[in-house]
Amino acid sequence: MAGAHPSIELFLQPAGDRGQTLAHGLATRALAGDRGAADTPDAPAGGDPNSLRDQGWGVIAPRGDEGDRLLALIQPLIDRRAADQDADVPIYRVPPDMTAADAAAWLDRKLVANELAAAIPGYLLALGRPDQVSFELQQVLANAFSVGRLGFDIDADYEAYVHKLIASERSSASAPARAVYFTARDGTPATELACRALMQPCVADAFAQRKAGRFAAQDIVVLDDPDPAGAAGRLLAAATGPSVLFTCSHGAGAPAAGWRSPAEQRAQQGALCLGDGGFLTAAMLAGATFLPGGAWLAFACFSAGTPRHSAYHPWLARLQEHGEHDGDLSSVLASLPRDGEPPFIAALPQAALASPGGPLAVIGHLDLAWSYAFQDVDKLSRGGRHRRFHELVTQLVKRTRVGLAVSGSLMSSRNQVQTELTIASDGDARAGALDAPAARGHRWMVLQDLAGYIVLGDPAARIATVSRGSGDPAA
């Protein structure tokens, strides 16, 4: 795009096809418009943030028989965490289908306003599928707490994950993990931009900081071969031991003819597009040894799941209706949820988390993932936004608990953007500082993009390590 600002790239590819769904990025002029921001609750403070005894751990479960059944499935984990914090685990019960407004009200009236407010856990596990405990509640809580989710379509997968996590924590540790970086080099503008402006700077920082003793990874592995042939094999081979894996790719969205059924969409949407028509799918990871005891940061559309309502649907529909984008947006809109369709967790992270040889946590994206997460197009300084992700990887490899690592990196950045939006919306900014509608629109997009990242898995999990010369995970 000509001019001072780069285009806005989308990391979505039609399932079973090649190339990106949005053939070329959206123009930054499309975001003229005022956007507001919600208030952010204060975060709990005090003690060691990595200590469950200091911070506490609790569960948010559905009301009724469904919640009782799910709590029974993870009872060994509840018992484990009660021992970790030397106190009973608080259980909070919530109704389904909570909106963001419902979640904010519940947080204020039921959680913060109870008589034991000082004892609210810093780590909260949302238990169940998003139609049982909503994504919106998880995202609102993530503004102030370390939050993760256990949600599976199959009951046995809850038990498999809990068994894997507890076994990892009972093992002994002796060596640091690896950091693995994978970029799908499919030749599309989006992934080439991400390679240049996100992954390569992250890798450069990792090497420089390891040399200075500030990056704890034993090895740094970079997979960015421009030939996509065999990409799946290279990725699987690199992830055979406890590692922090950072992948950047398109996520699978609706094919050109649309999804044939909701079941097909649930099975395929969010699969990683590796280039040359290749995909990393749930079927490939089911039962496979892939990141045993590790953590996976997956930058792609729908890599964590699909929400009930897309934050971007009204805006994209307007662009399509009024012809404000030089291209067809129908394929993007076809991947977004329709009225009445239930939200769902992507099949790929479910398979990875349920596998005995899989990771302990997946950090992925709900909704559409844009280049905004690492590219602030409305600011004079364009450098350094990759550090939102590099800091997360840094914290994970030094075995910071996953929920805390996300809170201190992506969510911290999100809260800073929300502060900027609040200032702009109040009209108190100094002249030239976010005082234009387009600038507020860009800030709103950054806010939504960062808010889309969620933790799947126990937020108190931290990556396992391995004994030297051994492939066995250790905590």
DSSP 133-172: S-HHHHHHHTTTSEEEEE--SSHHHHHHHHHHHHHHHHS-
Q: Are 414 and 421 in contact (CB under 8 A)?
A: no
Kindly state whether residues 201 and 139 are assigned to the same domain. Answer: no
Q: Which residues of the chain have pLDDT under 70?
A: 1-6, 23-46, 112-118, 172-175, 318-329, 376-383, 421-422, 424-439, 465-475
Q: Are 263 and 342 in contact (CB under 8 A)?
A: no
Kindly state whether residues 250 and 267 are assigned to the same domain. Answer: yes
Give the DSSP letter string of 104-118. HHHIIIIIITSTTGG
Distance CA(258)–CA(197), nearest Å, equals 32
Does residue 265 form part of some domain?
Answer: yes
166: domain CATH number is: 3.40.50
Kindly state whether residues 359 and 410 are assigned to the same domain. Answer: yes
Distance CA(362)–CA(151), nearest Å, equals 12
At residue 413, the pLDDT reads 78
How is residue 283 written in tokens?
A: 């079927």
Distance CA(103)–CA(125), nearest Å, equals 15
How is residue 365 written in tokens?
A: 């994206």
Does residue 203 form part of some domain?
Answer: yes
Last residue of a domain, one of 170, 191, 224: 170
Distance CA(145)–CA(143), nearest Å, equals 6
Distance CA(399)–CA(215), nearest Å, equals 11
Distance CA(183)–CA(296), nearest Å, equals 13
Does residue 2 form part of some domain?
Answer: no
Kindly report whether the global pTM for this prediction surpasses the value 0.85. yes
Strands (E), 355-467: 361-365, 453-456, 465-466
At residue 20, the pLDDT reads 76
Does residue 45 form part of some domain?
Answer: no
Distance CA(438)–CA(446), nearest Å, equals 13
Range of the domain at 234: 12-35+173-474
Kindly state whether residues 290 and 413 are assigned to the same domain. Answer: yes
At residue 113, the pLDDT reads 59
Look at the chain and report how many structural domains it folds into. Answer: 2
At residue 347, the pLDDT reads 98
Does residue 6 form part of some domain?
Answer: no
Phi, psi of 389, deg, nearest 5: -90, -35
At residue 327, the pLDDT reads 61
Does residue 42 form part of some domain?
Answer: no
Residues 6+ apart with CB under 8 A from 194: 9, 11, 183, 248, 299, 371, 374
Last residue of a domain, one of 141, 170, 199: 170
At residue 108, the pLDDT reads 82
Does residue 280 form part of some domain?
Answer: yes
Q: How many CB atoms lie within 10 A of CB 382?
A: 13
Kindly state whether residues 31 and 99 are assigned to the same domain. Answer: no
Last residue of a domain, one of 170, 203, 237: 170
Q: How many CB atoms lie within 10 A of CB 217?
A: 22
Does residue 4 form part of some domain?
Answer: no
Kindly state whether residues 130 and 115 are assigned to the same domain. Answer: yes
At residue 313, the pLDDT reads 74
Kindly state whether residues 261 and 273 are assigned to the same domain. Answer: yes
